[in-house]
Chains A and B, each alone.
Chain A
Amino acid sequence: MKLLSRLFSLLVISGMLLPFAAARSLAGEVRIAVASNFSVPAREIARAFETATGNKVTASFGSTGKIYAQIVQAAPFDIFLSADQERPQLLEQQGLAVSDSRFTYALGRLALYAGGTDVKGPGLLVADRSDRIAIANPELAPYGRAAVEALAKLFPDEDFGSRLVQGENISQTLQFVETGNARLGLVAYSQVISQAAAQYWLVPEGLHSPIAQDAVLLKSADANPVARAFMDFLRGSEAENIIRRYGYSAHVRGGS
């Protein structure tokens, strides 16, 4: 029992010290929560920002829906790079985001991918009806919703039903295709852009509502100069080059 109570008091003491430790590490740091589709460019932008300013960027990744739910529950993030406009808008309305900080940092594209074999066009989606098609969860991830819209536009009479398997976010969707468990996947263009062009089919923009991805500064980071600097950096030309290189259009910059 003595050992237990000693352990307990140790826990209590370290718990009391924790806020101080956290406060100290805050200096020169920004914590960003990033929708999965943007994880690779976000890492690159973070590195560029770190090099340019000497500040530290800590990035977390997940589906837009998950990150949103976490922010509502006071998750310790400074900036949210969403895959949609809806959640950042909601955060604004709920007073959890700094008003007027929101802007569209990227316009995403959807791609049909078959894990390394050639993809000639959308016909592959109905070529073999035993093939599973991986999409992101349409409830949680804008890329999933766009995928459902595109499928309905491409083949209005086709019932994809149980052929669709849902990744919890777009990274897991790609993983289903890359492990071969799903033969086809509707993933983010940015995820497959490094593959040979014959290995994916870029879904035309008109087949789904635009995937406008908004960034927003969270209320808790209002006074964090590093967070504001990162928002500015994200609008800048260096970040824009990176964003374009990953297949996003960045032409709606400066608010929506």
Chain B
Amino acid sequence: MGTAELASILWLTLKLALVTTLCLLVVGTPIAWWLARTRSRFRDVVASVAALPLILPPTVLGFYLLIALGPSGPGGWLAGLSGGRTLAFTFEGLVIGSVVYSLPFVVQPIRNAFEAFGERPLEVAATLGASPWNAFFTVALPLARPGFLTAAILGFAHTIGEFGVVLMIGGNIPGETRVISVAIYDLVESGDWGTAHLLSAGLVLFSFTVIMVMLRLGSARGEG
């Protein structure tokens, strides 16, 4: 495997993790907000659904995603808008899969952060005449910043380390869906252990750094 190919794999993996993390924050924040504030009796149902990917094996998610992204699912309909047939084997499809797969890692920390500061700051903001939207953006979001940081790091790291779902819906296309974990799998099986070692050691180092940073952040806030 040449340097150019390695670089393309690393870039693709980073791009997937970045785009996925952004989507996760956009999708996860309203869910976390609702879960933190609502008194609805469906709260625990929604919370359970959002936490399902924690427990479900990637094969289950991958299997359903393959069908959902395909011609007879909503993904096929979406792909049809741009003349395609399926969202499987595409970068967009991987983003959708990764968002589903990493959702709990983003929703939970943000929800915790929203719950941690309680009702009081928002009530004060309301008495001072802030609209609910205004209070959300100027009070709730800044207060929950540590939660967002944790969520972003976890979502990013978890996407980098994703394997099973990508293997099932990716199709291993260079530059489109061949991310680092799948590349390592291929390298090990085709006997190129030198490159496999290189990429694997890189991932170990990366994961260690992420966990260290998380612990540091935690203890800086007096939680660790």
* Residues on A facing B (Cβ under 8 Å): 63, 65-66, 68-69, 130-132, 134, 137, 139-140, 162, 164-168, 172, 175-176, 179-183
Q: Using Cβ atoms and an 8 Å threshold, which residues of chain B touch A139?
A: 186, 189-190
Contact at B86–A181, with CB atoms within 8 Å? yes
Most chain A CB atoms below 10 A, which of B69, B70, B72, B76: B70
Given contacts A168-B172, A179-B67, contact A132 B186 (CB under 8 A): no
Contact at A181–B172, with CB atoms within 8 Å? no
Give Cα distance in the complex from A175 to B70, angstroms: 12
Task: Name the residue on A nearest B168 (C-beta).
Answer: A172
Q: Using Cβ atoms and an 8 Å threshold, which residues of chain B touch A176?
A: 88-89, 171
Interface bin, chain B: 20 to 34
Contact at B66–A69, with CB atoms within 8 Å? no
Give chain B nearest CB distance to A7 CB in angstroms: 22
B45-86 to A contact mask, C-beta < 8 Å, 1/0: 000000000000000000000110111100010000001111
Contact at B167–A183, with CB atoms within 8 Å? no
Which residue of A66, A172, A182 is within 8 Å of B89 (Cβ)?
Answer: A182
Contact at B83–A181, with CB atoms within 8 Å? no
Contact at A137–B71, with CB atoms within 8 Å? no
Contact at B71–A65, with CB atoms within 8 Å? no
Given contacts A168-B167, A181-B88, contact A140 B189 (CB under 8 A): yes
Given contacts A69-B191, A140-B186, contact A166 B171 (CB under 8 A): yes
Q: Using Cβ atoms and an 8 Å threshold, which residues of chain A touch B172?
A: 137, 165-166, 168
Q: Using Cβ atoms and an 8 Å threshold, which residues of chain A touch B83?
A: 130
Contact at A132–B86, with CB atoms within 8 Å? yes
Which residue of A68, A131, A140, A162 is within 8 Å of B176 (Cβ)?
Answer: A162
Contact at A166–B86, with CB atoms within 8 Å? no
Give chain A nearest CB distance to B7 CB in angstroms: 18
Which residue of B85, B86, B88, B173 is within 8 Å of A162 (Cβ)?
Answer: B173
Contact at B167–A180, with CB atoms within 8 Å? no
Give chain A nearest CB distance to B111 CB in angstroms: 31
Contact at B189–A134, with CB atoms within 8 Å? no
Contact at B173–A179, with CB atoms within 8 Å? no
Contact at B89–A181, with CB atoms within 8 Å? yes
Q: Using Cβ atoms and an 8 Å threshold, which residues of chain A touch B126?
A: none
* Residues on B facing A (Cβ under 8 Å): 66-67, 69-72, 76, 83-86, 88-89, 167-168, 171-176, 185-186, 188-191
Give chain A nearest CB distance to B191 CB in angstroms: 7
Contact at A130–B85, with CB atoms within 8 Å? yes
Contact at B72–A63, with CB atoms within 8 Å? no
Most chain A CB atoms below 10 A, which of B69, B71, B190: B190
Q: Using Cβ atoms and an 8 Å threshold, which residues of chain B touch A181?
A: 66, 69-71, 85-86, 88-89, 171
Which residue of B70, B86, B189 is within 8 Å of A66 (Cβ)?
Answer: B189
Give chain A nearest CB distance to B62 CB in angstroms: 10
Q: Using Cβ atoms and an 8 Å threshold, which residues of chain A touch B185?
A: 168
Task: Name the residue on A nearest B167 (C-beta).
Answer: A168
User: What would 20 A/B residue contacts be, using CB atoms closer than 8 Å?
Assistant: A63-B189, A65-B189, A68-B189, A130-B83, A130-B85, A131-B85, A132-B85, A132-B89, A132-B171, A134-B171, A139-B190, A166-B171, A168-B172, A168-B185, A176-B171, A179-B70, A180-B70, A180-B76, A181-B85, A181-B171
Q: Using Cβ atoms and an 8 Å threshold, which residues of chain A touch B188?
A: 69
Which residue of A130, A134, A175, A179 is within 8 Å of B84 (Cβ)?
Answer: A130
Give chain A nearest CB distance to B195 CB in angstroms: 12
Contact at B186–A137, with CB atoms within 8 Å? yes
Give Cα distance in the complex from A113 to B142, angstroms: 56
Q: Using Cβ atoms and an 8 Å threshold, which residues of chain A touch B85?
A: 130-132, 180-181, 183
Task: Name the residue on B nearest A115 (C-beta).
Answer: B71
Contact at A164–B173, with CB atoms within 8 Å? yes
Given contacts A132-B89, A180-B86, contact A65 B190 (CB under 8 A): yes
Q: Using Cβ atoms and an 8 Å threshold, which residues of chain A touch B67?
A: 179
Give Cα distance in the complex from A68 to B168, angstroms: 21
Which residue of B84, B167, B168, B189 is within 8 Å of A69 (Cβ)?
Answer: B189
Give Cα distance in the complex from A66 to B191, angstroms: 10
